[in-house]
Structure 1
Amino acid sequence: MLGDTIGVELEVEAQERNVGQFRADILCKDTVTDSWVLIENQLERTDHTHLGQLLTYAAGLEAVTVVWIAERFTDEHRAALDWLNEITAEDLSFFGLEIELWRIGDSPMAPKFNVVSHPNDWKKGVSPNPRNDLTPTQQLYLEYWTGLRDLLEQRDGVIKPVKPLPRNWMGFGIGRSKFRLDVSASVRDKWISVSLTLRGSDAKSHFNVLKQDRIDIETAIGAELEWEEKPEQKRSYISRSLEDTDLEDRQDRDRQCQWLCEKLETFHKVFSPRVKELDVNDYIPDENETAE
């Protein structure tokens, strides 16, 4: 629920994580970027002590996203987070959330998060303004991914919209760090694709465990896939592409984005449960790999 509120797919890494002589409440990973998300809880009004702890933990962990949850925020502490979002780098984010408990009739109580402070560029449904220093190709990618983001918001499905950037790909969480769903496009070569991207030192092993179920996976997807192990990199890809797609053809753009949305949802449905259960110990290399 917290991840849905702030628009980040979270995977819990630790609770009461040691940071020097202190303990951070909850430490998570953003499964799209593999960056740290620090969560500090306070079931009372915010105070200076917790603000200091928050900054100390964030510095010790090099957290990229910091979330402070409290029953009530004072105006001073809300202003402090707003100021931090103003002066820090664009890749650092500070959130302040007030928590409530709601009950409808005799239903169990449920938490509700209200965002009281957020990064400057965080606002659902608002596209970033193109910078003057973007090349025409970067501006085209930004416009294209903004259209895809808007369509994902309209569909309101399992794929959560992310901030579009002026590059040839976008990444989406799939529920586990080191794994990501990517959409890519090429203005020059006129193709778009959806991929499961596996990263890190275990990418090759995880890739081969999945490949053992290739027939079942492709049957569930409904098409043959491209399986790229990339042994020279710490990444592997399982992809499906659509050729002859002109990103500059605005009349055809809705069809292209619809295709990307549908394939993203299918990939998530097929791969997400498999990815969450993957065990690197299930990979048994052949004799040549063992010798190498």
Structure 2
Amino acid sequence: MGSGLEITGLGKLEQVPLREVWKHEASDFTQWLALPENVDQLAEVVLGGGSLTVIDTEVNVGSYKADILAMDSEERIVVIENQLGQTDHDHLGKILTYGAGKQAEVLVWIVKDAREEHENAINWLNEHTDESIHLFLIQIEAWKIGDSAPAPRFNIIAKPNDWLKAVKQSTAAGSVSDLKLQQQAFFAEVRELGQKVSTHVRSWAKPTPQHWYDIRVGSGKGQISITLNSQKSYVGVEFYANNKDTYFSLERRGPEIEAAVGVTLDWQELPNKQASRIQVTKPGDFRNGGVRQELLEWAVQTVDTFALVFPKYL
């Protein structure tokens, strides 16, 4: 007996040649992949839902250039090597050279097709290198339905044993990295100091083990965040605008806002994201006892100033 449901109008999934989508490896594919929303797709496959933050592209390593240098959510250095063709010995040697030169813990080799011998090489390296080194061989494909825009698809060809299981365990409750715990401890000190001296922040949330700490300003249009970047060794305070309308309305009054906060701000539209940020940073490693108190006081004072100024312009 039929269900009475008739399905019509389904499209046909067609594979698109990679060179029709990205003509050049460096100028097209690498720059495309480096955009936040695209590298997030790669992170979903490699990290099982974690995140990747691109530090730079075409990074010098001796006389060579690594395609992408990134950092994952555990602040491990990630090197990404792109090859819109079949794997070869040259690119295998390059990604190992780049990994050594940048002291990377995660190496990601993205290719059109993989030779069996290179897949075996990656598997062998994962089995015989230190447990802190993780190598991935990823296939990139492009697909479309009818006249739709091509969509990328990342397929794992080779990966470390039990990688996704280890990633999930490392982010589960009760299994947090030392760095995340140090970040949480710093933000706990920020909260304690802020509760004592701040006059414009209504409440300081309980910090969690992550590299950012959000402070609400009583508006759904955005919030203030303190960020810790141990890789580049700075502390940042930013107003995070949740949409472009809010950002552009603030940007139009940029000189007035900068005069009110008393510093020159870094206006980051982030054109490929819905949100944008307006940031100021102070050099220094929050783990360094010699500058820790100075960074704490600067962060709290800057947050207090942002909390006074930005809500007036929302």
Q: How does 1:144-163 map to 2 (within 5 A)?
A: 162-163=168-169
Q: 2:97 aligns with which of 56, 60, 77?
A: 56
| Contact 2:70–2:79 (8 Å) recurs in 1 | yes
Q: 1:25 aligns with which of 39, 60, 67?
A: 67
Cα deviation code 1:23-56 (max 9, x no counterpart): 00011011x2212100000000000000011111
Structure 2 CA distance, aligned partners of 1:213 and 1:91? 44
| Contact 2:56–2:68 (8 Å) recurs in 1 | yes
**Cα gap change, 1:169 to 1:41, in 2 (>3 Å):** same
Structure 2 CA distance, aligned partners of 1:213 and 1:23? 47
Work out whether 1:6 is the aligned partner of 2:46. yes
Q: How does 1:268-287 map to 2 (within 5 A)?
A: 277=277, 278-280=279-281, 285=301
In structure 1, the partner of 2:127 is 86
Identical amino acids, percent of aligned pairs: 32
Structure 2 CA distance, aligned partners of 1:96 and 1:227? 37
User: Please, which runs of 5 or more residues in structure 2 have no aligned partner?
Assistant: 1-40, 216-222, 228-237, 241-275, 283-297, 303-314
**Cα gap change, 1:274 to 1:16, in 2 (>3 Å):** same
What letter is aligned with 2:66? A
| Contact 1:40–1:54 (8 Å) recurs in 2 | yes
Distance apart, 1:212 and its partner CA: 7.7
Q: 2:176 aligns with which of 170, 183, 207?
A: 170
Work out whether 1:104 is the aligned partner of 2:105. no
Work out whether 1:34 is the aligned partner of 2:75. yes
Q: Which runs of 4+ in 1 moved over 2 A?
A: 161-171, 195-200, 211-215, 224-228, 235-239, 269-286
Distance apart, 1:226 and its partner CA: 3.5
Q: Could you tell me the TM-score, scaled by structure 1's length?
A: 0.52
Q: 1:74 aligns with which of 101, 115, 123?
A: 115
What letter is aligned with 1:22? Y
Structure 2 CA distance, aligned partners of 1:270 and 1:284? 11
| Contact 2:214–2:224 (8 Å) recurs in 1 | no
Distance apart, 1:225 and its partner CA: 2.9
**Cα gap change, 1:104 to 1:92, in 2 (>3 Å):** same
Distance apart, 1:199 and its partner CA: 6.7
Structure 1 CA distance, aligned partners of 2:99 and 2:149? 34
Cα deviation code 1:134-167 (max 9, x no counterpart): xxxxxxxxxxxxxxxxxxxxxxxxxxx7234899
Q: Could you tell me the TM-score, scaled by structure 2's length?
A: 0.48
Q: How does 1:197-216 map to 2 (within 5 A)?
A: 197=184, 214-215=201-202
What letter is aligned with 1:90? E
| Contact 1:39–1:67 (8 Å) recurs in 2 | yes
What letter is aligned with 1:170? V
| Bigger Cα Rg | 2
Distance apart, 1:91 and its partner CA: 1.6
What is the RMSD computed on CA atoms of the aligned residues?
Answer: 4.2
Structure 2 CA distance, aligned partners of 1:279 and 1:15? 23
What letter is aligned with 1:280? T
Distance apart, 1:122 and its partner CA: 1.9
In structure 2, the partner of 1:46 is 87
What letter is aligned with 1:28? A
User: Please, which runs of 5 or more residues in structure 1 have no aligned partner?
Assistant: 129-160, 172-177, 183-194, 219-223, 229-234, 240-268, 287-292
SS in 2 for 1:42: strand
The size of the alignment, in residue pairs, is 183
| Contact 1:78–1:116 (8 Å) recurs in 2 | yes
Work out whether 1:16 is the aligned partner of 2:58. yes
Structure 1 CA distance, aligned partners of 2:239 and 2:183? 12
**Cα gap change, 1:199 to 1:53, in 2 (>3 Å):** farther
* Range moving further from structure 2, 54-63 or 277-286: 277-286
